[in-house]
Structure 1
Amino acid sequence: IAVTVPTMRVSLPFLPTLLCCSAASLLLLLRWRRRKGLWRKVKEARQRHDRGLAQMEKAALGFRKQHPSVDTVSILSLPLPELSRKLRDGSLPPEQVFYAYVGKALQVTRETNCITDYLQESETQLQQAARPGQPGLLYGVPVSIKDSINCQGYDSTIGFVSNINNPAAEDSVLVQVLKKQGAVPFVKTNVPQSLVSYDCENLIFGQTFNPLLYTRTPGGSSGGEGALIAAGGSILGFGTDLGGSLRLPAAFCGICALKPTGNRLRYLVAAVGPMAKDVESLALSMRALLCEDMFSLDSTVPPLPFKEEVYSSTQPLRIGYYETDFFTMPSPAMRRAVRETKQLLEDAGHTVGRYINPLCKDRDEGELDKSSAGLLLRLSKIPDWLKTLLSWITKPFPGGSISAPPTSSAFAPQESCHKFIAQWKKLNLDVMLCPMLGPALPVGYPGKLSVAVSYTILYNCLDFPAGVVPVTTVTTKDEEELKGYKGHFQDWWDRILAKGFRGSVGLPVAVQCVALPWQEELCLRLMREVEKLTQEKNRLL
Structure 2
Amino acid sequence: MNQSIFGLYWADTGKNLLKEFDGEPLSKSGMGLVRHANMPAWLRKLLGMLLTVKALPIHSKTMKELIEVGIGYQSLEQFTDCVNHLNEVREGILKKMEEEHIDLLLGPVMPFPSIEESVTNLFAMASIYTFIWNALDMPAGVVRFGKEGGKLIDQMDTQNDNFLEMAKNAVPASIGLPINVQVIGKPFQEELVLRLLCELEDCYNKQARVVPKLSNGASNGITTS
3-state secondary structure, aligned to 1:434: strand
Matched, 1:435 2:108: yes
Relative distance call for 1:402 and 1:497 in structure 2 (3 A) is farther
Match of 1:422 in 2: 95
* Gap runs ≥5 in structure 1: 1-156, 165-189, 203-219, 221-371, 392-399
TM-score (norm 2): 0.60
Deviations 1:322-362 (A, max 9, x none): xxxxxxxxxxxxxxxxxxxxxxxxxxxxxxxxxxxxxxxxx
Matched, 1:378 2:48: no
Match of 1:531 in 2: 201
Match of 1:484 in 2: 155
Q: Is the 8 A contact 1:464 1:514 kept in 2?
A: yes
3-state secondary structure, aligned to 1:537: coil
Q: 1:462 aligns with which of 136, 147, 150?
A: 136
**How far is 1:490 from its partner?**
2.7
Relative distance call for 1:446 and 1:510 in structure 2 (3 A) is same
Q: 2:165 aligns with which of 465, 487, 495?
A: 495
- Which one has a bigger Cα radius of gyration? 1
3-state secondary structure, aligned to 2:83: coil
- Residue 378 of structure 1 aligns to which amino acid in structure 2? T
Give 1 or 2: higher helix fraction: 2
Identity of aligned residues (%): 22
Distance 1:401 1:453 in 2: 19
Relative distance call for 1:440 and 1:402 in structure 2 (3 A) is farther
Q: Is the 8 A contact 1:440 1:507 kept in 2?
A: yes
3-state secondary structure, aligned to 1:449: helix
Matches within 5 A, 1:296-335: none
Q: Is the 8 A contact 1:434 1:511 kept in 2?
A: yes
When the two structures are aligned, how many residues end up with a matched partner? 167
- Residue 465 of structure 1 aligns to which amino acid in structure 2? P
* Gap runs ≥5 in structure 2: 1-18, 34-52, 211-224
**How far is 1:159 from its partner?**
5.3
Distance 1:539 1:423 in 2: 32
Matched, 1:509 2:179: yes
Larger RCO, structures 1/2 (Cα 8 Å, 6+ apart)? 2
Q: 1:401 aligns with which of 71, 76, 91?
A: 71
Distance 1:465 1:526 in 2: 12
3-state secondary structure, aligned to 2:141: strand
**How far is 1:379 from its partner?**
6.5
Relative distance call for 1:485 and 1:448 in structure 2 (3 A) is same
Relative distance call for 1:453 and 1:463 in structure 2 (3 A) is same
**How far is 1:456 from its partner?**
1.1
Matched, 1:191 2:40: no
Matches within 5 A, 1:338-357: none
Q: Is the 8 A contact 2:104 2:183 kept in 1?
A: yes
Q: 1:453 aligns with which of 127, 135, 143?
A: 127
Deviations 1:486-522 (A, max 9, x none): 23x3301110111222222211111001111111101
Deviations 1:439-485 (A, max 9, x none): 3221242322244223112212211111011011112xxx2421332
Matches within 5 A, 1:357-368: none
Q: Is the 8 A contact 2:109 2:142 kept in 1?
A: yes
**How far is 1:539 from its partner?**
7.8
Q: Is the 8 A contact 1:467 1:512 kept in 2?
A: yes
3-state secondary structure, aligned to 2:114: coil
**How far is 1:380 from its partner?**
7.9
Match of 2:45 in 1: none
3-state secondary structure, aligned to 1:511: strand
Distance 1:409 1:201 in 2: 26
Distance 1:472 1:484 in 2: 19
Distance 1:201 1:440 in 2: 18
TM-score (norm 1): 0.27
- Residue 472 of structure 1 aligns to which amino acid in structure 2? G
Matched, 1:474 2:148: yes
Deviations 1:14-61 (A, max 9, x none): xxxxxxxxxxxxxxxxxxxxxxxxxxxxxxxxxxxxxxxxxxxxxxxx
Relative distance call for 1:426 and 1:539 in structure 2 (3 A) is closer
